[in-house]
Amino acid sequence: GATLQAAAARTGRYFGVALAAGKLNDSTYTTIANREFNMVTAENEMKMDATEPNQNQFNFSQGDRILNWATQNGKQVRGHALAWHSQQPGWMQNMSGTQLRNAMLNHVTRVATYYKGKIHSWDVVNEAFADGNGGARRDSNLQRTGDDWIEAAFRAARAADPGAKLCYNDYNTDNWTWDKTQAVYRMVRDFKSRGVPIDCVGFQSHFNAQSAYNSNYRTTLSSFAALGVEVQITELDIEGSGQQQAQTYANVVNDCLAVPACKGITVWGVRDSDSWRSYGTPLLFDNSGNKKEAYTATLNAL
Ligand code: XIL
């Protein structure tokens, strides 16, 4: 079929997109989203600040707009994200210690319970490792509650929604030679060996000049898969333009297709003008919604 979702489905994979609730009344946007994609991630609407703006007062109105649009159009949904150092509500940013640990676990439990049975995969923990050399955890209020905060979050998510795949999601984990990649790999290996419930690893894959696509991406995906987890490309965008950008999109698709446990690819927005990046043209559709060379290369590679 001549759409991304149909082409991906031929090998049992999904092709997804991040959507913003505020754009669901833009018919150019929704027409493309409905035609091309069969998996949806809320770009911001299921994050901690959106879903628990005041402690223990949950607000799912915006997340539900995304979920309902997806459901009404026959799409599946990736949940993003239950625990993260960023986009925390103000009340949580000022918390620490046992109080914060319990608030985080309560958040994971309540949000995963609310969406129980409706989420294909949850990004349970997002971006918990530091960039650069050394492979350390990222310093954050959550990390300062103790190293075991990540596994505690996964256990709470499993208890709340046993049917959702539980993912660890991060960026700069695509290059197999990087310390950050190796540190996440060791964590996943440790979780699998100790029975901590983890089902998948999400590779955000925001590629630009500083964090460029590397041909060892396929090795990264297959190495994680060998630990017994699914791998998913969760937030793909590629800085650049023209044939060079198109070729990189094709490389990413080919790497996923080469790894049986790579079950899907999500791009982080519809048109270039929808991108979170303040510059550049990193997506598959131009500002007017026309298919770019990157789109054609992606479709042909699938
Ligand atoms: C971004 C959104 O696209 C922006 O709208 C928001 O202002 C900031 O967050 N890694 C992630 C995503 O896991 O949640 C981020 O999304 C992009 C980087």
Residues near 179 by beta carbon (within 8 Å), at least 6 away in sequence: 132, 133, 134, 135
**C-alpha to C-alpha distance for 48 and 2, rounded to whole angstroms:** 37
3-state secondary structure 102-162: HHHHHHHHHHHHHCCCCCCEEEEEECCECCCCCCCECCCCCHHHCCCHHHHHHHHHHHHCC
Q: Which residues are catalytically annotated?
A: 235
Question: Is 205 near ligand 1, meaning CB less than 6 Å away?
Answer: no
CA of 47 relative to ligand 1 center, distance in Å: 10
Question: Is 173 near ligand 1, meaning CB less than 6 Å away?
Answer: no
Ligand 1 atom at minimum distance from 80 CA: 14
Give residue-wise pLDDT tens across range 196-247. 999 999 999 999 998 999 999 999 999 999 999 999 999 999 999 999 999 9
**What was the pLDDT predicted at 279?**
83
Residues near 111 by beta carbon (within 8 Å), at least 6 away in sequence: 46, 51, 52, 58, 79, 82
Report helix angle 242-257 to 293-301, nearest 10: 20
pLDDT of 1 over the 70 cut: no
Question: Is 121 near ligand 1, meaning CB less than 6 Å away?
Answer: no
Q: For the complex shown, is ipTM > 0.95?
A: yes
Phi then psi for 130, rounded to 5 degrees?
Answer: -80, 150
First CA to last CA distance, the chain: 10
b or e along 23-36 (b: 16 or more beta carbons within 10 Å of the residue's beta carbon)? beebeebbebbbeb
Tell me which amino acid residue 293 is.
E
pTM of the model: 0.98
**C-alpha to C-alpha distance for 194 and 189, rounded to whole angstroms:** 9
Question: Is 126 near ligand 1, meaning CB less than 6 Å away?
Answer: yes
Place of tokens 């446990």: 261
Q: Does residue 74 sit in helix, strand or coil?
A: coil
Q: Report how far apart, in Å, the C-alpha atoms of 293 and of each of 32, 84, 125, 155, 279 are.
A: 16, 34, 34, 43, 19
Ligand 1 atom at minimum distance from 171 CA: 10
CA of 277 relative to ligand 1 center, distance in Å: 9
- Are the CB atoms for 141 and 95 separated by under 8 Å? yes
Place of tokens 């770019």: 292
pLDDT of 35 over the 80 cut: yes
**Which of 125, 273, 276 for a ligand 1 pocket mutation test, highest count of atoms within 8 Å of Cβ?**
276
The continuous run of DSSP H or E covering 236 comes out as: strand 230-238
CA of 232 relative to ligand 1 center, distance in Å: 17
Question: Is 114 near ligand 1, meaning CB less than 6 Å away?
Answer: no
- Are the CB atoms for 267 and 236 separated by under 8 Å? yes
| % of the chain beyond a pLDDT of 70 | 100
Residue of 239, 301, 289, 224 whose CA lies nearest to 265: 301
Whose CA is closest to atom 13 on ligand 1?
A: 126
Which band of pLDDT confidence, cut at 50, 70 and 90, is reported for residue 278? confident
CA of 203 relative to ligand 1 center, distance in Å: 14
In this prediction, residues 183-195 reach a mean pLDDT of 98
- Structural tokens at position 156: 């709470």
- Structural tokens at position 14: 């999904």
Give residue-wise pLDDT tens across range 248-258. 999 999 999 99
**Which of 62, 234, 268, 272 for a ligand 1 pocket mutation test, highest count of atoms within 8 Å of Cβ?**
268
Q: 6-9: long-range contacts (C-beta < 8 A, 24 or more apart)?
A: 7/299, 7/302, 8/38, 8/264, 8/265, 8/302, 9/38
